[in-house]
Structure 1
């Protein structure tokens, strides 16, 4: 996803294989043109959203349309042939395997190869990791975990992350027939008709899933978008509709069908046109496209103008619309890898010409895949004997997992080689290595791309020990939604001199430099760190009010924890990653200033010495990705000091407090030149992502930070 921005990444919609249900209905029924038309509308929404997101900001709701369609057709099929034995389940899953896996595994294999050929090496690991999860139909859970990881959320979008919804559907396909089987057995045990019992069971499930979706969207929206429990109700609405259809067969009156169909289509269109990346989703907001889709399916608008002059049915039945609905599954599978990989291959952002070419290539590849892969493997002969599709699926899945594993092995090998080169560079006393090069800019030559350390593939993982979830046996970070208290010890744990490093991720990036200083001065380093939440007494604009409250509670709790600990020195650093909640009269920056000053006064009054580090320059784009893409032209990744340097309300806060106990330190001159901030400084890649210093570069700042800390400690 995105990664696209966090918003865009979160809304990366995938067609959930609703097309898989095209053959799920009983063979006695013809394909419903209204449902095929809905598929065409849904995939068109997704295509437009991904190709030109600003033109249709809510196009991600196409995925919700597909969920309802799948829930309806699959439930209808299961209830008409209600499973009663394990073999019935096996036959159902066999059909799903033959329908879904051949095309999806083909796209995954081709995408892995394409990624290896054209994508920057910094993205290979993430792509392979997600591809492996996609093969196993758990990539939605992997993306949910990454979405709440502040650093992982900034990853570039992978070309396979759109498989998240296919994973949701496959989990649905696994659970749903078992649920129907159990409810059918319960009905027999109770000597009741099966359909009312199934209906009651589905009502309970849909209500529970909807309640959880509303709660999780309000409290943990990044993960809520991807996880299965928040989406099950959408498929369940389709299931409820199928159950009602069988309980009360027969079509509604033509005039009512026309009204229902148009209202449903308008609801889908309204959501697509008005929803944005900032819309809390799914939650109750998903009801608009979900109920709109259900209305169109329930109406079953006639496909002839003679039967209903104003009906949208004939429009949905047009041959081009039906053709697009027919290939919609493969359209979705192919379009996103092309959107992600074409810019990597061309070296520039998508132009309108590129977008047109991607659209044409998507339709051509989808048509060929439908003709030579989907239809071929869907044939009945591939399902006989019953074990055959499962054996073939397991073999094909193993091949793709093997390809992903090979890519991960190559990444690991390159990382080990890069780490060896880096260790050699760190061991030397080169006066032009890292930040030291800025002391002698004229006498330090440029470094060739091949000699840059850490190598781009390694730089993305060159983070401080604070980012290691296993550091000292436990996590060192307070994450949303609850922001619990987290504390880790580094340096000399037996030292009587305790330095507390406190703040958000831009405090954590200083740990490698502090560890170098601690080794020289025999210091104990205690970290109190949070992800995104700046240590400022101000309410910050998180995705939900609960997260904002939890962040502010962490700020207050941590401030008092420092007072209770009363260390020899506090080192504080923060990045303003979200705005402050303003009243319209005071700027966000001013509120942060006041919040910093409030905390510094608390520590000053407690007699605690504090060093406030100025926030570091931020490129705004992934530096390792840029360097890996530009290679020998990596200097194109540089930026101006004016553009990269953020505001410094912390400096004004120190001035307001005006105490000898509180000092402000600006090391920007050791990160940037007078006018230019470099992606590579002294042969060292400066940032491991779009804003955070690599651990290697941070270590080269230790000679400049050490004397400052020694002076502050000596003064104490």
Structure 2
């Protein structure tokens, strides 16, 4: 199908909903999706490509709000019709991609991976992916690359927004509220929350619908412009050029180490707002965005977005490493072909009315429900462990994955008996505390504090100090008195006279990242407070974070015949460059605090390995398994790094 025919069909859809079709907005969609795809395929080439999602949010807010406002003004507003349109727009391509991922996962993934895919597919079908990924990890960490449905977080935010927005607009209209003013106030509240979370909880800031709503509402604010709004040619060209300049600046200057969204999100959001407000006849919109190639790409942008990440992520999983350039280029080409086929044969018949809208919506709703049930079954059955040739993990249940590790911890350790810590870890679900100890009903003598990179030392440290009660108190934030989640626990820990030794450990590469407010002062003040409480304090360096999984090292996998267990020492040193400077500086200010280096245990003069003495030490790319915890803890104690 030619782009001209596609455009004509879009015009027909636009006329049905009483909005004027704009070629330049499809061109802006193209900019957004190309940026995202290039960033995911070649992150060093276009470091700020992920801001394409923010551009999508503005476009979506503008288009959907334009339709809703026109329907309200013409008294033809219907929430049922709105959701019918959303089903027809979102479900066809999404169902196709979810089923394709589950089918390929059945062939290629190990049980723990397939179980995870089932969970994420279920979240995608229920439009809560952002909430699930928020609970799991940081968007930019290594493990994220091995989640084929990670990109559905943005769709979750959109659909959660649209669960509320039509009704909110209706109420604004019904009670004669000044809609632009109401939207402006809501934008200010959401943006303020975004700034607060950017400084205190960047992961929440990234995934939360509350901190992202202002981006969609920025588009809605443009939709409120009166129908007679037509800037002069001169003004329109200025707006257009300024908007394009902001987007280009964001693509080049913003990167994955930036505090984002935060204040920086204003760059792509404002750029998109200016380009939309400039109108289709402005300079950049007319010449660049309305180009036939850009418009054609924009028309298939939704399936293009849905297909690209699984096609890049699955090779990453199979190879347990970043795919070669040839593989990534091939993935993009296949993405384009599948996107066009999805648009022509699956999306277009539904959107243009070639298939009855009522029948198609019923069918799509049933198909999505069936997909969700299938995903739930895969998750409930632990990734279908009986699949032939795709499940070596079932033969080694204690080696790999998060679930076997947590099962071991739950079976071999007790929940903390300290009344205050126990109540804190059980009552404050919003912070997700977890507290275990090696001996039941005894006061803790040695306490591991930090995130999961502290807890994975618990089996080994407890084994080496078998005569005392060893505990772990963990939470995903930086273990600092300035972290909202850690202030109360650290106050309690410092005042607990039973606790003699505190070992602080974390995934420092994630916790001490550019943008964190005064990390050196935070850590130094925390160490000083604990030291002044007469505690024996250790700060443990982090283990290497590998770009491949243990499966690559130990087990064979379908579609892959190579194995890899090592990374270069220089790569590990690069990981440490930023956080080590801050950690060591904080330690110099607290000479009584001891630093535990671990790289000598896993690295030689050239490389670092996730194996030692024939043992696999990791359960994923960045966590020790049970054997690894015990092996390395033994080495730490016998080398004198950790003293009994």
TM-score range, shorter chain: 0.7 to 0.9
Matching residue within 400, 414, 434 for 1:456: 400
1:637 aligned to 562, 565, 570, which one?
565
1:253-652 → structure 2 map (5 Å cutoff): 253-302=232-281, 312-345=285-318, 349-380=322-353, 382=355, 385=358, 388-411=359-382, 414=385, 454-457=398-401, 461=405, 465=409, 471=415, 488=435, 490-495=437-442, 498-505=444-451, 506-516=453-463, 521=467, 523-529=468-474, 531=476, 533=478, 547=483, 557=491, 560-561=494-495, 564-567=496-499, 569-570=500-501, 572=503, 574=505, 577-578=508-509, 602=532, 606=534, 610=536, 617-618=543-544, 620-621=546-547, 623-627=549-553, 630=556, 636-638=564-566
User: Which of 139, 154, 162 pairs up with 1:173?
Assistant: 162
Whether 1:212 and 2:143 are equivalent positions in the alignment is: no
Go from structure 1 to structure 2 and tell me whether the alpha carbon gap of 1:357 and 1:254 turns closer, same or farther (over 3 Å shift).
same
The separation in 2 between residues aligned to 1:217 and 1:149, in whole angstroms, is 14
Given that 1:94 and 1:389 are in contact with CA atoms closer than 8 Å, whether structure 2 keeps it comes out as no
Change (3 A) 1:232 1:26: farther
For residue 239 of structure 1, the aligned residue among 202, 207, 220 is 220
> CA, structure 1 residues 558+139, in 2 after alignment: closer, same or farther (shift >3 Å)?
same
* Separation in 2, partners of 1:507, 1:108: 35
* Structure 2 residue matching 1:180: 3-state secondary structure: helix
Counterpart of 1:140 (choices 113, 126, 130) is: 130
The 5 A counterparts of 1:655-666 are: none
> Within the alignment, does 1:68 sit opposite 2:34 as a pair?
no
Q: CA–CA distance in 2 between the matches of 1:102 and 1:148? A: 29
The one-character-per-residue Cα deviations of 1:108-147 (angstroms, maximum 9, x if unpaired) are 1112222333345543233221111111011111122223
State whether residues 453 and 685 of structure 1, in contact with CA within 8 Å, keep that contact through their aligned partners in structure 2: no
Q: Contact 2:450 / 2:478 at 8 angstroms: preserved in 1?
A: yes
Kindly provide the CA deviation profile for residues 518-561 of structure 1, in whole angstroms up to 9, marking residues without a partner as x.
7x64x4334445546468xxx9xxxxxx54x986x679736732
Structure 1's 620 and 349: CA in aligned 2 closer, same or farther, altered over 3 A? closer
CA distance in 2, matches of 1:135, 1:47: 22
Counterparts in 2 of 1:663 and 1:280: CA distance versus 1, 3 Å: closer
3-state SS of 1:144 partner: helix
Name the CA shift for 1:494/1:378 in 2 (closer, same or farther; >3 Å): closer
Q: 1:346 offset after TM fit, Å?
A: 6.0
Who is 1:230 aligned against? Answer: 211
Q: Is the 8 A contact 2:66 2:223 kept in 1?
A: yes
Compared with structure 1, are the counterparts of its residues 682 and 297 closer, same or farther at alpha carbon in structure 2 (3 Å cutoff)?
Answer: same
Equivalent residues in 2 for 1:97-112 (5 A)?
Answer: 97-112=87-102
Cα 1:25–1:270 change in 2 (3 A) is farther
**CA deviation after TM superposition for structure 1 residue 82, in Å:** 1.5
Q: 2:120 aligns with which of 118, 130, 135?
A: 130
- Over 3 Å counting, the alpha-carbon distance change for 1:21 and 1:679 in structure 2 is farther
CA distance in 2, matches of 1:556, 1:365: 52
CA shift, 1:510, in A, is: 3.1
Structure 2 residue aligned with 1:185? 174
- Distance in structure 1 (CA, Å) of the matches to 2:242 and 2:596: 61
**Long gaps (5+) in structure 1:** 1-18, 188-195, 303-307, 422-447, 540-545, 583-587
Q: In structure 1, what is the Cα distance between the partners aligned to 2:270 and 2:370?
A: 40
Structure 2 distance, partners of 1:185, 1:580, is 49
Contact 1:120–1:344 (Cα < 8 Å) also in 2: no
Q: How does 1:6-155 map to 2 (within 5 A)?
A: 23=13, 26=16, 30-82=20-72, 88-119=78-109, 121-147=111-137, 154-155=143-144
- Correspondence for 1:159: 148
> What SS does structure 2 have at the residue aligned with 1:350?
coil
CA-CA distance at 1:204 after TM superposition: 2.5
- Separation in 2 of the partners of 1:335 and 1:97? 22
Q: 2:5 — aligned with what?
A: none
Q: Structure 1 CA distance, aligned partners of 2:131 and 2:280?
A: 37
CA distance in 2, matches of 1:581, 1:327: 36
Are the structure 2 counterparts of residues 96 and 22 from structure 1 closer, same or farther at C-alpha, using a change threshold of 3 Å?
farther
Question: Normalised by the size of structure 1, how large is the TM-score?
Answer: 0.71
Give yes or no for contact 2:508–2:542 (8 Å, CA) kept in 1. Answer: no
Q: Per the alignment, in what secondary structure is the counterpart of residue 470 of structure 2? A: strand
Could you list the per-position Cα deviations for residues 472-515 of structure 1 after superposition, in whole angstroms to 9, with x for gaps in the alignment? 59879999x999897946344445x7522233345433322455
For residues 597 and 271 of structure 2, what CA distance do their matches in structure 1 show?
A: 56
1:453 Cα shift?
A: 5.8
1:684 deviates by: 5.0
* Distance in 2 of aligned mates of 1:498 and 1:381: 69
Alpha-carbon separation, structure 2, partners of 1:208 and 1:468:
46
Contact 2:619/2:625, CA 8 A, preserved across alignment:
yes
Mapped to 1, the partners of 2:230 and 2:537 lie a distance apart of 74
CA deviations over 1:635-676 (Å, ceiling 9, x no partner): 7314689987999999x989x979xxx999999998889998
- Over the aligned positions, Cα root-mean-square deviation in angstroms equals 5.0
Q: What do the CA deviations read for 1:208-227 (whole angstroms, capped 9, x no partner)?
A: 22222222222211111121
1:284/1:28 CA distance change after superposition, 3 Å: same
**Residues paired across the two proteins, number:** 613
Check the 8 A contact 1:144/1:226 in 2, yes or no: yes
SS in 2 for 1:231: helix
Deviation at 1:462, TM superposition (A): 5.3
Secondary structure at the counterpart of residue 257 of structure 1: helix
> For residues 639 and 359 of structure 1, do their structure 2 counterparts lie closer, same or farther at Cα, with a shift above 3 Å needed?
closer
Give the match's secondary structure for 1:371.
helix
Question: Secondary structure of the residue that 1:501 maps to in structure 2?
Answer: strand
Please report how far the alpha carbon of residue 279 of structure 1 lies from its aligned counterpart in structure 2 after TM superposition.
2.5
The TM-score with structure 2 as length reference comes to 0.78
Farther-moved stretch of structure 1 (639-648 vs 263-272): 639-648
Cα distance in 2, alignment partners of residues 95 and 576 from structure 1: 44
